[in-house]
Amino acid sequence: MTPSFARLTTVELRKMVDTRAGFWLQVAMVALTVVVVVVRLLVGDATDHTFQSVLDAGLQPAAILLPVLGIVLVTSEWSQRTGLITFALVPVRSRVLGAKLIASLLLAPAMLGAVVAVVAAGVLVSSPGVEGTWSDAAPLIGQSAVNLTAGMVVGVALGAILLAPTPAIAVLLVLPTALWAVLSLPVFSDVAPWVDYARALGGVTEDVMSATQWAHLGTSLIIWMVLPLLIGARRITRCEVTA
């Protein structure tokens, strides 16, 4: 009997906790968030410790490590050589990839909740009652959710294309720098905001985004998230699985 989609999603969520790589990546995200928030609150005056400024700093560990977790999740059948078992139990591989994608979409807001809790607690302790501390908190949290979720899906897409964690993580870390180096050339000054997803995602915690900034983000994510995910889905459904 083929497992239901809900069961598959539950299994993929458990993989992110039960495996050593997934467990320690999540522990590292929370621990680094606490460290970064504490350091940020120790620097400057209490008036500088607004929710926006602390959230901008505290979000960075999760923004960097969540895509890595997405890569580890989607490449596990190949890196741990469990693909024959998984795809024998679930012959329709797109269901497995769909479960991994839904699991990643559930984990991202859960991690955001942990980050926001740490940031809010730090701000409450550091600058209680300071005027403007909580300005635009709600839209900034929503934009941060887009940041983490999109980053997670980019990681899943890269993992699905390369089917190996090491090269996928290398591409994930190198791609934003290489893209920035190319798009910083004057000839690309007009097109850069529309295709530089790293810069577009980086601006979501700086301030409430305008309609133009959302358009830049949407276009860049179609190029660097949606298209790679479609390519990765095709690769997974057609790639030969070996023991």
Answer yes or no: is pLDDT of 242 > 70: no
129: confidence class by pLDDT, cuts 50, 70, 90: low
- Looking at residue 54, what is its pLDDT? 92
Pick from 2-11, 26-35, 42-51, 181-190: least confident: 42-51
- Please tell me the pTM assigned to this model: 0.90
> Which of 14-18, 89-93, 139-143 has the highest average model confidence (pLDDT)?
139-143
Question: Which residue would you say has higher pLDDT here, 164 or 200?
Answer: 164
Tokens of 226: 């949606």
Answer yes or no: is pLDDT of 243 > 70: no
Mean pLDDT of 41-60: 86
Contacts of range 2-11, beta carbons closer than 8 Å, 24 or more positions apart:
2/89, 2/90, 2/91, 2/92, 3/89, 3/90, 5/95, 5/98, 5/99, 8/90, 8/95, 8/96, 8/98, 8/99, 9/99, 9/102, 9/103, 9/106, 11/99
For the chain, the domains span 5-238
